[in-house]
Chain A
């Protein structure tokens, strides 16, 4: 009997039960989708990165290219090496890598069949093909590239006559990827937070409407504690029922979104790098959602003074406004001045909490103020803004949740777009030359420079020297700091097009005249600014140079300074040298041959930067697709909850809307008023979400990144996307108005009791 009484409300208002169930299903779907997509993004990125990441190879000390005989010599000496032969194969040519999978078995991997295999799905055979396919062993070879011998990172011993050398297929992108994933994690948590708020708001809306039922049951002798237990059981049951389809839908959605991603990634390398296939059902996401739903909805039961359904839980502003405002102020200060990530997160949480407490009241007061300013001759305008004020007060929690959701969507969009732009720019700068030629240790760089300078028709080129230098006076403890040096000569258009973060007038001329540029990491760590004179110990010399520019350097954490190679002292010994070359009218083969002749070597490492850039940017672009998917999912949930909340709440006010007709408004005019009211509500939420979204973007790119990695991303806003978001919100407003309009036409609303969702306020 009691259970029948408890559930009588939902029997009378099945739509409310449906709305709550729908919210839990959609919220679970969102969180599951986000969890799966984030996991997939992480795995895909890891696998993608591995395909271009640095490894080590063995080379001959005499500079001759390694051969199969070297492979056998090394293996018979107990050294774990494996062949790696990259070449183009087929028509149209596709990039393939010939490997010997049997030889690779010594790379200290667990036995085949280990569960670690599962995460990355299947390799289709490309780009990794058996090495016999690219050498003629299978009779299918068309052309062969240069053999490399990868060495296991665990191998320490090398026989005489061999050396290790880094073996890299692409630029080091690890830091950029790590940063991206950190932000992705932060956003996922934010999504969870927003989801909790939305579910809580829908649940408490329903709870408020059942207050009279509960009061009646109490009068029949049902104790409050028993009622609370039953409510908890009801919610647990409902959540359990809804979480299952939510998890399933979330996984299906993520897989569907991911399949597009996977297909795009496949085309990159003829390789299945997508990690989402055969993902196990993410029941842990369902468990998280169960805990979250029960937590956010039942937390009031744990606080005796706030006895659940008897209060008005949709009004969070139990504290005076100045407390919320203080919270925002402290949070903002913390984010600005924090020295560690933890405090940035705490500050951000404070700002969000403070805004959440302030915003409903602020919006309601604003609506009231506008209502008061309406002329007496415009009663409908006055009614509309008063009605809006009531809605902002009664829908406080969902309004705040929607604001947060939209802010998150804005931040995600800005972040992803910024990452893409930055990554492209950085890659383009770092790989501006078409070719990269490694200068062998035994070779004369000067001879190579003369050879290149004498080649008619050659495009721009420069000589890169890397090494270590000391900054003697810069450390606060008075200890010299060793840092990386990159010296370029001559300074050409290969670098003069770089986008510098800060620079003096004519920075590259200033560099050639004895200036120094520093990367962002060095500038931040040592507090360097333009014009500051920097003393650098290079070789035996000590040079004092003005800082003429600060450049972005996203690939690695190390501090670095850049000078014109012409200013290097004679006794500087570079640890690594290379040429970056645009071939111009010359062929790659011709350039390579000239340098081989000059250096008297048979083997030369020449890298095609264009294909590396294309590879790296394609890999990352596909990963960005996943973040966009998360953004879309968040927007879907926010929109759906707005729709449900708006519809339910507008329904509770239908008596007042009905009165408009009684006052003499034609049905069309009533519907027009409803449309304007709904549009005001959704556009109001959108407007207050914009500054929060921009601020959140700033926190992500300008605070979290520098603290985590030592460099910031450029801050950018995208007003075009704001308009898109506004249009979506407006559409939702129109749908709500249309639904309510239909409802008003179909029935005569009863005047609501005071218990209905607090909707009795007038």
Chain B
């Protein structure tokens, strides 16, 4: 058995390496180090003024290189214990496809895009994580917007019919979840009407969120099924280049504050000597969104939490003077590495300071 596993591991690892389009410095959907565009890059680059269109933008963008559907949730069990949950599905194109192009036949096993799905549950000091991989256009991974379906193998986010709550089912090795997601607010377009800058040079992504999802359902771990309920945050983001050369990774936060405000904030870390790029969106309880520029956010990590996978800042101080916000964002005790092909940190957080609340934190570029 172990020999078979070793062989399979070899095959996977080395074939991934052999697929140069998937490897190099790019990682998967920007989870590893950065790469610059080449002059002959045929992928569509998002820019200021690009519109968001619905419901189409819930579906895939094959002209762009990378995109993801991303859900985080701060839930509680029936006993009132906090439970964090994440699901993400990434698409990474190897070559772009025009909007009107027909997909190649599945029997050719085309390799024009690869998909990766991540699921994680953080509960009671445990952090369960699972990863699935697939090639696109074959049929076992993909996304549609009408009706909304995003799937990889038997993991599925779907909208049973228009206007109904979405359903997300994930079955991993010994754990899983089955959730209903009801959206209760308007979509929030980040940045310039959906174009979210990621550097001072103008690179960026198209980015919108559903920040108020009422979530209920079940989470099964260690043979126990927990009824859960709570708030979720759903992101859609696509681009053709997320990180530019010199950027190490990002620190990203999505917070539900107890006074009804919501905050998305991130920092793209530059190599030593460079200037970090910060951005965010401050969302009022009535849904009014205000974009935050680099000079409107102060963000700094404090202390280190060490592990074999890498080390991450233990807590972050986040200040937005215009909103009179001065908070500390703290991950609970434990290790919250999503230890897949490209390890990164994904943890629920609590908020202390001028405001209180809960949320999620994603830190990339810290693994060894």
Contact = CB atoms under 8 A, between A and B. Distances in A.
A46 B8 CA distance: 13
A112 to B, nearest CB: 5
A53 B2 CA distance: 13
A49 to B, nearest CB: 8
A75 interface: yes
5 contacts: A99-B15, A101-B15, A105-B12, A111-B343, A112-B16
Nearest to B154: A78
B114 interface: yes
B90 to A, nearest CB: 12
Given A120-B10, A123-B10, A112 B154 contact: no
Contacts of A114: 9
A109 B139 contact: no
Interface in B316-330: none
Contacts of B1: 153
Contact of B5 (A51, A109, A120, A138): A109
B341 A112 contact: yes
B108 A101 contact: no
Given A103-B133, A106-B132, A68 B19 contact: no
A398 interface: no
A103 B139 CA distance: 12
A102 B14 contact: no
Nearest to A50: B7
A101 B19 contact: yes
Contact of A132 (B8, B109, B133, B340): B109
B135 to A, nearest CB: 5
A72 B8 contact: no
A435 B107 CA distance: 28
Question: Which range holds the interface residue count of chain A?
Answer: 35 or more
B339 interface: yes
Given A100-B109, A101-B15, A112-B12, 18 more contacts: A68-B139, A69-B139, A72-B139, A75-B153, A99-B15, A100-B135, A100-B138, A101-B16, A101-B19, A102-B12, A107-B8, A107-B12, A109-B6, A111-B343, A114-B9, A117-B13, A125-B14, A136-B108
Nearest to A99: B11
Interface in A110-169: 110-114, 116-117, 119-120, 122-123, 125, 128, 130-132, 135-138, 153
A116 B108 contact: no
A106 B153 CA distance: 10
A51 B133 CA distance: 23
A111 B111 CA distance: 22
Contact of A153 (B4, B10, B115, B133): B4
Interface in B138-159: 138-140, 151, 153-154
Given A55-B4, A68-B138, A112-B341, A128 B109 contact: no
Question: Which range holds the interface residue count of chain B?
Answer: 35 or more
Contacts of A76: 139-140, 151, 153-154
Contact of A83 (B3, B6, B109, B339): B109
Contacts of B202: none
B180 to A, nearest CB: 21
Contact of A137 (B10, B108, B139): B108
A108 interface: yes
A128 to B, nearest CB: 6
A120 B12 CA distance: 13
B106 interface: yes
A101 B13 CA distance: 8
B104 interface: yes
A104 B131 CA distance: 12
Nearest to B155: A78
A107 B5 contact: yes
Contacts of A17: none
A67 to B, nearest CB: 7
A79 to B, nearest CB: 9
A122 B17 CA distance: 10
B191 to A, nearest CB: 32
Q: Is the interface of B mostly helix, strand, loop or mixed?
A: mixed
Contacts of B16: 101-102, 112
B273 to A, nearest CB: 29
A167 to B, nearest CB: 11
A346 to B, nearest CB: 32
A47 interface: yes
A83 B108 CA distance: 12
B1 to A, nearest CB: 6
A72 B106 contact: yes
Given A102-B134, A111-B339, A137-B110, A128 B5 contact: no
A656 interface: no
Interface in B72-115: 104, 106-111, 114-115
Contact of B11 (A123, A132, A138, A153): A123
Nearest to B6: A116
A98 interface: yes
B8 A109 contact: yes
Contact of B135 (A102, A117, A119): A102
Given A101-B16, A128-B15, A137 B8 contact: no
A100 B22 CA distance: 13
A423 interface: no
Contact of A105 (B111, B132, B343): B132
Contacts of A326: none
A543 B61 CA distance: 71
Contact of B108 (A107, A108, A119, A135): A135
A122 B14 contact: yes
B18 interface: yes
A123 B15 CA distance: 8
A329 interface: no
Nearest to A102: B133
A557 B153 CA distance: 39
B171 interface: yes
Contact of B18 (A83, A106, A130): A130
Nearest to B110: A137
Count chain A CB atoms within 10 A of each CB in B7, B132, B341 and give the residue with the most: B7
A397 to B, nearest CB: 43
B6 A71 contact: no
Contacts of A153: 1, 4
A605 interface: no
Contacts of A109: 5-6, 8-9, 12
A77 interface: yes
B134 A103 contact: yes
B11 A104 contact: yes
A278 B3 CA distance: 20
A50 B140 contact: no
A755 B138 CA distance: 86
A535 B9 CA distance: 49
B154 A77 contact: yes
A225 B209 CA distance: 83
Given A105-B133, A106-B132, A122-B14, A47 B7 contact: yes
A104 B9 CA distance: 8
A116 B18 CA distance: 19
A158 to B, nearest CB: 14
A239 to B, nearest CB: 36
A624 B334 CA distance: 51
A101 B18 CA distance: 10
Contacts of B109: 68, 83, 98, 100, 130-132, 135, 137
Contacts of A106: 132-133, 153
Contacts of A83: 109
B171 A130 contact: no
A116 to B, nearest CB: 6
Contacts of B110: 132, 137
B192 to A, nearest CB: 35
Nearest to A119: B6
A67 B138 CA distance: 11
Contacts of B133: 102-103, 105-106
A105 B131 contact: yes
Interface in B1-42: 1, 3-16, 18-19
Count chain B CB atoms within 10 A of each CB in A125, A130, A132, A153 and give the residue with the most: A132
